[in-house]
Amino acid sequence: MNSIFRNVIETFEEFNELQAELGQPSNVVSNKVIHSLESTSKDFISNSPFIVIATSDGKGRCDASPRGDRPGFVHIIDEKHLFIPERPGNRKMDSIQNILQNPHIGIIFIIPGMDETFRVNGRACISRDEALLSKTAVNGKLPKMGIGVEIEECYMHCGKAFKRSGLWDAEQWLPKNELPSASKIIAAHVSEKMQVTADQIEKSLEDTYKNRLY
């Protein structure tokens, strides 16, 4: 790691000392992990319109990617299997390429207004199963593929991060005129490789959001 970081914990012996300082997890936390979905887990997933999936490539380089659609867009096949439809994106397909190299996947399910989240860890594959694609179609448009997930563990995650951040508290949100501009950020990032203005990026984003969600 870069030497800018000091007092770095590098061994499990040091970790154990830190664990002793912070204390052990409660019995509930230690026993909350399950290995398949039951009725309450299915209910959470069925009401979630937004997830974040974590993958890594064959060298362990990580990526986190958002996915969202109508509540319950992640299809529950059974207690051990999920199917995440791939909607049109930027066509880089980083998550897809990662899964081809390393099948391990982590997923966080989020419900707006709820501080607690539901987490799933497991193994993934890329599927073009026509039956599953048909079940996850929107407005008659079938996804080209999807991510199949075999669940290895799942559990609830407490809401401290959401409470600290005030994520759902509109009074803590920035005014719209103070929000960072996505188009300006993208234009700045590509400026050394191509000539494009923030206005051009903005128009492209508007067209994508209006005409290419599915």
User: Domain map of the chain by residue range?
Assistant: 28-165, 174-211
The pLDDT score that the predictor gives to residue 192 is: 86
User: Is the predicted pLDDT of residue 2 greater than 90, yes or no?
Assistant: no
Q: What does the pLDDT look like over 118-172, one tens digit per residue?
A: 999 999 999 999 999 999 999 999 999 999 999 999 999 999 999 999 999 999 9
**Cα 120 to Cα 132: distance, rounded to the nearest angstrom:** 20
The pLDDT score that the predictor gives to residue 3 is: 82
- Region 22-43: mean pLDDT is 96
User: Is the predicted pLDDT of residue 1 greater than 80, yes or no?
Assistant: no
| Contact between residue 123 and residue 103 where contact means Cβ atoms under 8 Å apart | yes
**Cα 182 to Cα 188: distance, rounded to the nearest angstrom:** 10
Q: What does the pLDDT look like over 64-122, one tens digit per residue?
A: 999 999 999 999 999 999 999 999 988 999 999 999 999 999 999 999 999 999 999 99
Residues in the chain: 214
Does the domain spanning 28-165 belong to CATH 2.30.110.10? yes
List CB contacts of 50: < 8 A, sequence separation 6 or more: 66, 67, 68, 109, 110, 111, 112
Q: What does the pLDDT look like over 52-66, one tens digit per residue?
A: 999 999 999 999 999
The pLDDT score that the predictor gives to residue 110 is: 98
**Cα 108 to Cα 112: distance, rounded to the nearest angstrom:** 13
| H-run or E-run covering 21 | helix 12-22
| Contact between residue 20 and residue 9 where contact means Cβ atoms under 8 Å apart | no
Distances (CA, A) of 59 to 21, 62, 131: 33, 9, 33
The pLDDT score that the predictor gives to residue 208 is: 93
The pLDDT score that the predictor gives to residue 75 is: 98
User: Is the predicted pLDDT of residue 189 greater than 90, yes or no?
Assistant: yes
